[in-house]
Amino acid sequence: MKNKNTSSRRKFLQKLSASSAALALGTKALAENQEKYVETLFRAPFSANDQVNIALIGAGIMGGEDTRTALSVPGTKLVAVCDLYDGRLKEAKTKWGNDIFTTRSYKELLNRSDIDAVIIATSDHWHQQISIDAMKAGKHVYCEKPMVHSIMEGPAVIKTQQETGKVFQVGSQGVSSLGNEKARELLKDGVIGDLNYAEGFWARHSPTGAWQYPIPDDASPQTVDWEAYISNTTKRSFDKTRFFRWRNYLDYGTGMSGDLFVHLFSSLHFITNSFGPNKVYAAGGLRYWLDGREVPDVLLGTFDYPKSNAHPAFNLSLRCNFVDGTSGTTFLRLVGSLGSMDITWDSVTVKRNKSADSDDPFMIEQMKRMGTPVTDRKRIVGPEEYTFAAERGYKGGPYDHFVNFFTAIRNKGKVVEDAVFGYRAAAPALLCNDSYNQDKAMLWDPEKMQLIKK
Ligand SMILES: NC(=O)c1ccc[n+]([C@@H]2O[C@H](COP(=O)([O-])OP(=O)(O)OC[C@H]3O[C@@H](n4cnc5c(N)ncnc54)[C@H](O)[C@@H]3O)[C@@H](O)[C@H]2O)c1
């Protein structure tokens, strides 16, 4: 007689190999043994034809990272940089050469005809306006997440993208990664059964992790264009802490949810093909980083995803803790009726528990009472863990995300994380803040992308 575990495992492996073969990203090496299954994911090299000239608006931490990644894709050239702090403009020339054009005015940059695409990496409260102005000026846009600063701002970006036909991509780079692609494929193939729950977590405990960034010694109204910075929000006198630690203030940032949950929404929506949740409720508090910030340092969000054509109804739980002594942990896990998947940008680990037995002492006691034999004789078990890991040298989600952006520009194609996708990922993150601040559940129509008033 066939061993049941071996037979189901073989079926699972057959399914995995068949689905992998169908994928463009392919399967290079397949190694298996009794205990563990490990598969290597790989990506074919990218080749460029025409040069794409790019410009950076917002040359801070992420703007620098994005530009470095964009320039590592063959066929790209940086021609201009814009920032409101002179120190960043000087730094840009040091990093990328004296011949790049620099300015404090993003409108002056958009007037230049030698720019094909812009990277927008300003604080969140400028994303919408600059994105719209850039597309109207004929530029393709790579806009950092979250796409917008408030729930009301999304429709205008979508409208401008549709009217101008420009490539518009939001910067939750995990969506383009091998890890996210593999998870999407595995979920579709039913490897974890019917999805019923997902969870994500972000833990940190350090000043910079909690957004207490260094403030440059020369920060002053002379070196910072404060009036331009606050020209679309509350008028205040110059405040260098607000400028350099903007994430802590609601006029400019979107708190933990807009900064971090949005990545998890983007990956989750990509993997599940979901439009988003219809109910959002949050809890949390400001307990440790009492530096005048307006946002919590511990935030929990609970999200109800209704049944759709793409997936069954499921619940999502997200947590973020900036006072976490374990520090440095982050994960995204999808749980289904047959198992779970732990997903990163570089790997997916599937865990399946084929046994229906419980090791709960209470259950064991109940079984004994009911006369069910409880034995500690060891059984033969099938493999319970399957890991798909990117091969050594994989350039990562950020690189792939820029490749997708430039490929869409060259081929007049589409990107996955466009304005509609970006809005559907930003909306639950922004509603999570609204729920926390208003102390009530927020209702959202994920398909029509509309707030439902109670
Ligand atoms: N995708 C990711 O993994 C990721 C990671 C970090 C940050 N981000 C996003 O990137 C953006 C920037 O974050 P950061 O950490 O680099 O912040 P930062 O403060 O280091 O940089 C922002 C820069 O934008 C400039 N700026 C602000 N408003 C401007 C305007 N109107 N015109 C020109 N320049 C302007 C500031 O002077 C500053 O130098 C944020 O939206 C953030 O959410 C994304």
pLDDT tens per residue across span 60-81: 999 999 999 999 999 999 999 9
| Ligand 1 atom nearest to CA at 62 | 16
Tokens 């957004």, located at residue: 211
CATH number assigned to the domain with residue range 187-393+419-452, chosen from the 4 options 3.40.50.720, 3.30.390.30, 3.30.360.10, 2.170.120.12 = 3.30.360.10
CA distance 100 to 94: 10
If one residue of 56, 57, 61 were mutated to test the ligand 1 pocket, choosing by the most ligand atoms within 8 A of its CB, it would be: 61
pLDDT of res. 131: 98
Residue type, 249: Y
pLDDT of res. 330: 84
CA distance 419 to 425: 10
In which order are the strands placed within the sheet that holds 168-170?
101-103, 76-82, 52-57, 117-120, 140-143, 168-170
List pLDDT tens digits, range 12-46: 545 554 444 333 333 333 334 445 678 888 766 65
E strand intervals along 337-374: 340-343, 347-351
Of residues 150, 262, 149, 144, the one with CA closest to residue 202: 262
Is the dihedral angle over the CA atoms 431, 443, 174, 171 positive or is it negative? negative
E strand intervals along 241-346: 279-285, 298-305, 314-321, 330-336, 340-343
If one residue of 89, 143, 144 were mutated to test the ligand 1 pocket, choosing by the most ligand atoms within 8 A of its CB, it would be: 144
List pLDDT tens digits, range 107-143: 999 999 999 999 999 999 999 999 999 999 999 999 9
- Domain 52-174 identical in fold to domain 187-393+419-452: no
CA distance 37 to 44: 23
Ligand 1 centre distance from Cα of residue 61 (Å): 7
Three-state DSSP at 14 gives helix
Q: Which residues pair with 27 in a beta bridge?
A: 41
| Residues flanking ligand 1, CB < 6 Å | 57-63, 82-85, 88, 106, 121-124, 126, 144-145, 171, 173, 228-229, 259
Task: Name 102's Cβ contacts closer than 8 Å, sequence gap at least 6.
Answer: 80, 81, 82, 83, 89, 92, 93
pLDDT of res. 76: 96
Look over the chain and give the mean of its residue pLDDT values, rounded to a whole number: 90
Range with the poorest average pLDDT among 19-33, 212-226, 233-247, 357-371:
19-33
H-run or E-run covering 185? helix 178-188
Question: What pTM did the predictor assign?
Answer: 0.89
| Residue spans per domain, the chain | 52-174, 187-393+419-452
pLDDT of res. 15: 53
List pLDDT tens digits, range 234-285: 999 999 999 999 999 999 999 999 999 999 999 999 999 999 999 999 999 9
Q: pLDDT above 70 covers what percent of the chain?
A: 88
Q: pLDDT above 90 covers what percent of the chain?
A: 79
- Looking at domain 52-174, its CATH class is alpha beta
CA distance 83 to 90: 10
CA distance 450 to 241: 35
pLDDT of res. 159: 98
DSSP tag of 85: B
pLDDT of res. 304: 98
| Ligand 1 atom nearest to CA at 254 | 43
